[in-house]
């Protein structure tokens, strides 16, 4: 479980996923439906990519396996377990699991994708089952901010778990490209220099991105949602926000 949470599992690369390297391909596959077992099946081949626990590589399928484990341990559907333990206690009334519904309900920002010919196509309606367990939640800025405060304040986790939430693997564990490890058991560490470190999580799907980060003491924090149109947009928006954010501000 530790290796799944901090992305040191070494699971092999996916096989059998559609090639979504062009925006046109994304549109063609927007209504593909995946089960968790389908997703796990794409990495159920061969041996590990590296010995588990020795390197770090962010893999969304780690969360798919963790979500299946939640179901096994609780006897509930993954979304029901999260709703009972997190969403309802925190009053996150506008955060939900889409299930098999590809549409966004209620007021929402529409997502757009820039095609290779320069035109823009609406990708708001999209089957999110390919992100089951790792990124299919639909939420709002207010709910994300409320969740961030609760998580960092220790409302959701006991002290021992809070320590692991902000602890990286040993120094000997590096990212696959040789850079220092940057994922704890649930968060990403982003050093800004001057002794300031942000912790948080990113999330994205076609036409949408969210970034939720804060210092551990929450003196500096931000929740950002925006709608990039390129298929592989650079993180210029986040860089601009971090550069403009005074330390100690939110």
Query: Is 250 domain-assigned?
Result: no
Instruction: Using pLDDT thresholds of 50, 70 and 90, give the confidence band for residue 248.
Output: low
Average pLDDT in the chain: 93
Dihedral in degrees, nearest 10, Cα atoms 92, 93, 99, 101 = -140
Q: Is the pLDDT of residue 250 over 70?
A: no
| 65-106 residue pLDDT tens | 999 999 999 999 999 999 999 999 999 999 999 998 999 988
Query: In this predicted structure, what is the pLDDT of residue 118?
Result: 96
Query: In this predicted structure, what is the pLDDT of residue 249?
Result: 58
Question: Which structural domain range is residue 34 located in?
Answer: 2-244
Q: Is the pLDDT of residue 194 over 90?
A: no
Distance CA 243, CA 237 (A): 10
| 137-181 residue pLDDT tens | 999 999 999 999 999 999 999 999 999 999 999 999 999 899 999
Query: Is 137 domain-assigned?
Result: yes
Query: In this predicted structure, what is the pLDDT of residue 31?
Result: 97
Record the tokens describing residue 102, joined without a space.
């590809």
Instruction: Please give the angle made by the CA atoms of 16, 20 and 21, to the nearest 5 degrees.
Output: 120
Instruction: Using pLDDT thresholds of 50, 70 and 90, give the confidence band for residue 192.
Output: confident
Write out the H or E segment, with its range, that includes residue 167.
none
Query: Is 249 domain-assigned?
Result: no
Q: How much of the chain exceeds pLDDT 90, in percent?
A: 86
Mean pLDDT on 55-67: 97
Q: Are 55 and 173 in contact (CB under 8 A)?
A: yes
Instruction: Using pLDDT thresholds of 50, 70 and 90, give the confidence band for residue 196.
Output: confident
pTM assigned to the model: 0.93
Record the tokens describing residue 190, joined without a space.
């982003």
CA torsion sign, 225 to 226 to 228 to 233? negative
3-class DSSP string for 201-226: EEEEECCEEEEEEECCCCCCEEEEEE
Terminal-residue alpha carbon distance, the chain: 33
Q: What is the CATH number of the domain that holds 154?
A: 3.40.710.10
Looking at the 3D structure of the chain, how many domains does it have? 1
């Amino acid at each position: 479980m530790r290796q799944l949470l901090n992305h040191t599992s070494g699971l092999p690369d996916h096989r059998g996923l559609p090639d979504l390297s062009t925006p046109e391909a994304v549109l063609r596959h927007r209504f593909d439906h995946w089960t968790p077992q389908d997703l796990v099946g794409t990495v159920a081949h061969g041996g590990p990519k590296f010995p588990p626990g020795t390197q770090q590589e962010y893999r969304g399928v780690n969360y798919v396996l963790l979500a299946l484990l939640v179901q096994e341990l609780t006897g509930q559907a993954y979304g029901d377990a999260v709703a009972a333990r997190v969403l309802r206690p925190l009053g996150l009334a506008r955060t939900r699991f889409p299930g098999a519904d590809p549409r966004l309900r209620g007021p929402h920002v529409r997502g757009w994708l820039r095609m290779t010919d320069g035109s823009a196509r609406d990708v708001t309606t999209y089957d999110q089952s390919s992100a089951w367990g790792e990124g299919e939640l639909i939420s709002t800025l207010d709910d994300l901010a409320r969740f961030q405060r609760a998580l960092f304040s220790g409302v959701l986790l006991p002290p021992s778990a809070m320590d692991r939430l902000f602890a990286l693997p040993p120094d000997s564990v590096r990212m696959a490209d040789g850079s220092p490890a940057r994922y704890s058991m649930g968060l990403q560490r982003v050093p800004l220099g001057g002794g300031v470190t942000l912790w948080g999580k990113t999330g994205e799907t076609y036409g949408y991105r969210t970034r939720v980060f804060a210092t551990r003491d929450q003196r500096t924090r931000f929740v950002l949602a925006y709608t990039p149109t390129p298929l592989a947009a650079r993180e210029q928006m986040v860089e601009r926000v971090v550069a403009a954010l005074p330390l100690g501000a939110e």
